[in-house]
Amino acid sequence: MRTILPFIFLYFFNLIPIIAQTVFEPLDSDVYSFLDKQAVKGLIELHDEFKPISRKYITELLIEIENNKDQLSNLEQEELVFYKKEFGLELELFDKDISKHKSLTLFRYNKFKRFSLFTYTDSRFKLNVDPILGFGYSSKDDKINKHFWNGLTFHGYIGENIGFYFYFRDNHESGTYFDTLNELNSKRKITVAKKGKDFIEYSDTRGGLTYNWVWGEATIGKDYISIGNAESGNVILSDNAPSFPFLSLDVQPTEWLRFRYFHSWLVSDIVDSSSAYETFRNGIFRIKLRPKFMALHSVSVYPLKGLSFTFGESIVYSERFEYIYLIPVIFFRLADHYASNYNNHVGNNAQIFFSFSLRNHIPNTSLYGSLFIDDLSVTNIFNRAKQRNKVGITLGLKIEDLPINNLSLVTEYTRINPYVYTHFVQTLTYENSSNLLGHWLGQNADLIYLGIKYKLMRGFNLKVWSKFIRKGGKGDMESAQRLPQPSFLFGLRKSFTNFGFEMKYEILHRLTARLTYKYSKLLFEDKPNLNKKSNEMSFSIYYGL
C-alpha cells in the first residue's frame, strides 16, 4: 500500500485544474502597508489575516488597483508603478503572450525595469536571484553595536503549478550591547550560533516549495507565520520567535469561506537526558532535545466586502509525533482527550483564537482585533475564587488620509493576562527556541501603542511612535495552578515609556537607507533606585529584506 501512495497523490493532483503558482512575500516588505491602505480606502478587498501572502495574490491586487488608478493620489500612482516592476515576474504569469519569449538578465536592469543579480524567464521556467547585503551602526548611551549581514534570496516558478523560494542571511554583530538579545523588545528574536565577549553570530534561513490549484495550495516550507493585523505585535501568532518548518494546506472552495491548516516542528530547548551518550572523546556527550510540535487550523469567513472573521484552534504537543494531528479537520482538543485518555498529566497544550477586521465601513478607517484563549473557565468566568482566564487580546484602530493625504494614524491596546503562553510541562509552552510564538510583550502585561506615519515621496516614509507598557511579575508554575488566578499585574510592577521615530527611504528596489531614534524610560514600582533612562540611535543601509 505504501508504494502506491505517491501515484495516488500524483493522479489526484493531475485531475485538478491549475492556475498561477504560489511564492510568499516576506513579512518585511513595504507592499503590505501599500495594500492595507488601499483596502482601508475601499479600493480592494484584502484577505491578510494570515501572513505572509503570496506574490501571485499581491499581483492580482495590483492589477485591481491599476483598474481604479484614477482614485489614487499622484504619490500612490508612483508607488503602483514601482510595485509593478517589483512583481514583473508574477505579472508575466497573467500574460501568456509575453511569457512565451525567453529572457536572461545578469547584474543589470531586467525587462521589468528592475535591477537584478539574475533573472530568467521562458514559457516553462522563471527565476529571480538577488543578493542580500547590509550594514548597521547603533549607539545606546555609551555603548555601540555594529551589524554586518549578507546572504542570497531567490524565487521562481516551474510549469503551471509549482512555486519555490529561498532566503538565507548570515549576521555578525560586534560591540558592547546586543539589542537582539533583549527579551522585552519587538525585534525578532534570534538563536545565537556563535558568541564571544564582544560579538555574536547567527543566521536566518527560510524557504518553501508550493503546489497550487484553482481552489487551494499546499506548501512544505520554513518561514514566519503571522495571524492578525496589529502593528505592535500579534497575540495569536507572530514573527517574534525564529521561523519554523511546516506542512500547510490553504483551501478556499468559495469566495466567502477559507480554511487553513499547518503542522510545524518546533525546538523545545529541553534536553532529553535519557538519550545522552558519551562519544569516543572522553567527557564529551551527545545530547538530544525533546521533540516539540504544533498544529493549527482555522476558518475565515468573509460575509461582506471589507469584513472578515477568523476562528481557529492550535495545539502544542511533545515527546512523539502524533499522526492524529495530521487530520486537518479534526478538533484538536478532542483528539488530545483521545490520545491522553483524559489524563491532564499526559495531555498537551491546546488554544483557541478569534480575529476580525473591518475596513472602510467607516470611510478610510480600519477596526481590528484578536483574542487568544490559552485557558478559560467558562462556568466560573464571573466567580473570582475559581477563575483561571489565561487570555490575551488586542484591539486596534487605523485611519488613512485623514486629516491630510498620505498620513496614517494607528492606535492599539494589548492586554495579556497572567500565565498566558506558559505551561507546567516545559516542552508544552507556547514557544519556539525559548521565544514566544505569540506577542513579544509576554504574560501579565499590557501595552498602549500610538503611531503616525507620513509619506513624503515614493519610498520615503516618516514614522513617529510611542509605547506605554506595564509589566507585572513572572510568578512560578505552582502559583499558576492554584485558584484563584493571581490578579492582573501581580508582583513587582515595571512601567516602560518608549518614544521613537524612523526615517526610511527605499532608494531603488530593495536598496534601503534607514535612520531611527528611540527614547526609553523604565520605572520600578517599589525600587526607584533601579529606574533608568536610555537613548538609542541607529543607521543602516541594506540591499534585500
More confident residue, 204 or 484: 204
pLDDT for position 402: 83
pLDDT at residue 340, rounded to an integer: 73
**176 has a pLDDT exceeding 70:** yes
Question: What is the distance between the alpha carbons of residues 171 and 89, in angstroms, rounded to a whole number?
Answer: 29
CA distance linking residue 253 with residue 301, whole number of Å: 12
The average pLDDT across 222-236 equals 96
Is the pLDDT confidence value at 302 over 70?
Answer: yes
φ/ψ of residue 13, rounded to 5? -70, -30
* Rounded Cα–Cα distance for residues 155 and 498 (Å): 38
Rounded to an integer, the average pLDDT of 226-245 is 96
Q: List, in order, residues 6 or more apart from 35 with CB less than 8 Å away.
A: 44, 46, 48, 58, 61
Least confident of 51-60, 84-93, 442-451: 84-93
DSSP element (H, E) containing 31: helix 31-40
For position 10, what pLDDT does the model report? 41
Average pLDDT over residues 117-141: 94
Q: Yes or no: say if 448 and 425 are a contact pair by the CB < 8 Å rule.
A: no
Predicted confidence (pLDDT) at residue 205 exceeds the cutoff of 70: yes
What is residue 1's predicted lDDT score, i.e. its pLDDT?
A: 41
Does 337 or 361 have the greater pLDDT score? 361
Mean local confidence (pLDDT), 32-43: 96
pLDDT of residue 480 exceeding 80: no
Lowest mean pLDDT among 242-256, 375-389, 512-526: 375-389
Residue 272 banded pLDDT, cuts 50, 70, 90? confident
Does the pLDDT value for residue 13 go beyond 50? Answer: no
CATH topology of domain 2-543: Porin (2.40.160)
Backbone angles phi, psi at 15, to 5 degrees: -85, -10
Given pLDDT bands bounded at 50, 70 and 90, which one contains residue 18? very low
Share of the chain above pLDDT 90, in %: 73
Dihedral (Cα; 537, 497, 243, 55), 10-degree rounding: -80
Q: Kindly list the distances between the CA atom of residue 544 and the CA atoms of 67, 143, 154, 167, 512, in Å, as whole numbers in the listed order.
A: 29, 27, 11, 10, 8
How high is the mean pLDDT of the chain? 90
- Which pLDDT score is estimated for 44? 95
Q: Determine the Cα–Cα distance for residues 525 and 201; give it in Å rounded to an integer.
A: 36
Taking only the tens place, the pLDDT of each residue in 347-379 is 899 999 999 999 999 999 999 999 999 987 655
CA distance 135 to 306: 40
pLDDT of 516 above 60 = yes
In this predicted structure, what is the pLDDT of residue 20?
53
Least confident range of 15-29, 53-67, 430-444, 506-520: 15-29
- Between 386 and 345, residue with greater pLDDT: 345
pLDDT at res. 186: 85
pLDDT bin (cut points 50, 70, 90) of residue 296 is very high
Q: What is the pLDDT of residue 535?
A: 95
Q: How confident is the model at residue 388 (pLDDT cuts 50, 70, 90)?
A: confident
* Helix (H) or strand (E) run with residue 57 in it: helix 55-66
Q: Give the pLDDT score at 263.
A: 98
Q: Are 168 and 204 in contact (CB under 8 A)?
A: yes
Q: How far is CA 510 from CA 133, 150, 507, 544, 545, in A?
A: 10, 14, 8, 5, 7
Residue 7: which pLDDT band, with cuts at 50, 70 and 90? very low
243: how many CB neighbours lie within 10 A of its CB? 21
Omega before residue 528 within 30° of 0, cis = no
Residue 385: band (very low, low, confident or very high) from pLDDT cuts 50, 70, 90: low
Q: Closest Cα to residue 240, out of 186, 201, 292?
A: 186
- For residue 387, pLDDT over 70 is answered with no
Percentage helix, strand, coil for the chain under 3-state DSSP, each rounded to 5: 15, 50, 35
Q: How many other C-beta atoms lie within 10 A of the C-beta of residue 119?
A: 24
- Please determine, for residue 411, whether its predicted confidence score (pLDDT) is greater than 90: yes
- Grid cell listed for 232: 505592535
